[in-house]
């Protein structure tokens, strides 16, 4: 994110086609969006790896996965807002 912030002035010029730098930034934002969306979609796969474990372990993992999903959803909202700006 820090790197994107440093390059932001080059994309705020308002050109629709954009410079090479703005295209790279859009590409990176799209990649982050894809990864965050996939993480939200595939959260159940993480839990599948804990089948057969004691209930206390599964519950601890479930709580942490839920927290991670919440943070990922927030990050995705930020990414979507950022994508509208570039």
pLDDT in tens, 10-64: 444 444 556 788 889 889 999 999 999 998 888 888 888 899 999 999 999 999 9
Residues in CB range of 19: below 8 A, 6 or more apart: 10, 11, 13
Burial code (b: 16+ CB inside 10 Å, e: under 16) for 43-62 equals eeeeeeeeeeeeeeeeeeee
- 69 Cβ contact partners less than 8 Å away, ≥ 6 residues apart: 39, 40, 43
Spatial separation of the C-alpha atoms in residues 55 and 69, rounded to whole Å:
20
Is the model's pTM score more than 0.85? Answer: no
Q: What residue spans define the domains of the chain?
A: 19-85
């Amino acid at each position: 994110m820090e790197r994107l912030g440093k390059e932001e002035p080059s994309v705020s010029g308002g050109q629709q086609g954009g410079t090479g730098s703005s295209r790279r930034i859009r590409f990176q934002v799209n990649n982050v969006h894809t990864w965050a969306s996939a993480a939200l979609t595939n959260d159940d796969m993480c839990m599948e790896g804990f089948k057969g474990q004691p209930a206390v372990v599964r519950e601890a993992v479930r709580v942490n996965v839920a927290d991670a999903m919440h943070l990922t959803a927030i990050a995705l909202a930020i990414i979507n807002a950022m994508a509208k700006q570039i």
